[in-house]
Amino acid sequence: MEIFFTKLQGNGNDFILIDEMKENIIPDLMKGQFAGLYCDRRYGIGADGVLFVSGSEVADVRMRLFQPDESEAEMCGNGIRCLAKYAFDMEYVKANCTIETESGVLSVDMEYDSEGEFSAVIDMGEIIFERTRIPAAGSGNYCEEIDGRTVYAVNTGVPHAVVFTGDLNILPVCEIAPKIRHHESFPKGANVNFVEITGKDEIAIRTFERGVEDETFSCGTGSTASAAVANYLNKTGNVVSVTTKGGPLTIFIDDGRARMKGPAVTVFKGSISF
């Protein structure tokens, strides 16, 4: 069976996209296995996840994301920009559209600038600090000491842990993050973001992603979570410039909700036998 795919990336957070607008290409029970096989960077195509775009009864299109560990993620900020770009390029949607995710229906505004560069603004939805809704153990807003570090938790589509630190360049992220990602305080696990305040309304972050089980070049929901916590603690204002390893994002915070602006790029197209 020949399966056509498109490879896209948002700030270096890269995805394989499978178009299921006309028919179900990969059976639902095999989507996780497919992601495990083809996200492998040596024996597969290589990616941080596999996006599936399909029709929706409640939005213009639907997004599902399966990760290298074969799990399904509720949402992905960089992934939704990549999927939006593909859907826009294929004329499945207009410049203003809605996308159904496991975290709900989100609105997207996108455009190409005069130089042909694509960008999208995603309504990331409600910023959730309440522990029971993150989910995180206990009640009320979440702040806890884990392995000697102050950890804040928030849900911006998926659960996130946010840790403020000094120089990110010398931080052993992959050594520290798993202890927080797997901590009993997070019954569904959490992405772990390390945040450095770099200027007025500016932060830099490094993110260890649940499901990828490694540091990624960028995380859209992680950037949103980090900006939200920084704003909540009055470390920044309502418009936050976020620098990730893969490039910049802008987070807008207004009345308990967030929007994210960033790029997406089509890398290449191909086919595989499955």
Please check if 67 is assigned to a binding site: yes
210 is in an annotated binding site: yes
Parallel, antiparallel, or unpaired for β 143-146 and 118-126?
Answer: unpaired
What's the CA gap between 159 and 138, in Å, rounded?
A: 15
Give the Cα separation of 207 and 220 in Å (integer).
10
Q: Is position 234 annotated in a ligand binding site?
A: no
Q: Pick the catalytic residue: 39, 82, 97, 219?
A: 219
Q: Which long-range contacts (CB under 8 A, 24 or more apart) does 127-132 make?
A: 127/154, 127/155, 127/156, 127/224, 127/228, 127/253, 127/256, 127/257, 127/258, 128/154, 128/155, 128/156, 129/153, 129/154, 129/232
Measure CA 186 to chain center.
18
The answer to the question of whether 9 is labelled as a binding residue is no
Residue among 39, 76, 82, 97 flagged as catalytic: 76
Closest by CA position to 36, among listed 62, 3, 72, 10 = 72
270 is known to lie in a ligand binding site = no
Alpha-carbon gap, residue 264 to 29, rounded angstroms: 29
Is residue 209 marked as binding? Answer: yes
CB-CB contact of 64 with 54 (8 Å): yes
- Tell me if 98 is assigned to a ligand binding site: no
Instruction: Please indicate whether residue 76 is annotated as part of the active site.
Output: yes
Lookup result for tokens 């290589």 = 46
**42 annotated ligand binder:** no
Residue 143 annotated as catalytic: no
Judge whether 78 is annotated as a binding position: yes
Q: Can you state the angle between helices 77-89 and 220-232, rounded to 10 degrees? A: 130
**Nearest in space to 220 (alpha carbons), one of 98, 72, 73, 97:** 73
Judged by phi (left if over 0) then psi (alpha if -120 to 50, else beta), residue 235 lies in alpha
Residue set of the binding site = 13, 67, 77-78, 191, 209-210, 220-221
Which positions are annotated as active-site residues? Answer: 76, 219
Residue set of the binding site for substrate = 13, 67, 77-78, 191, 209-210, 220-221
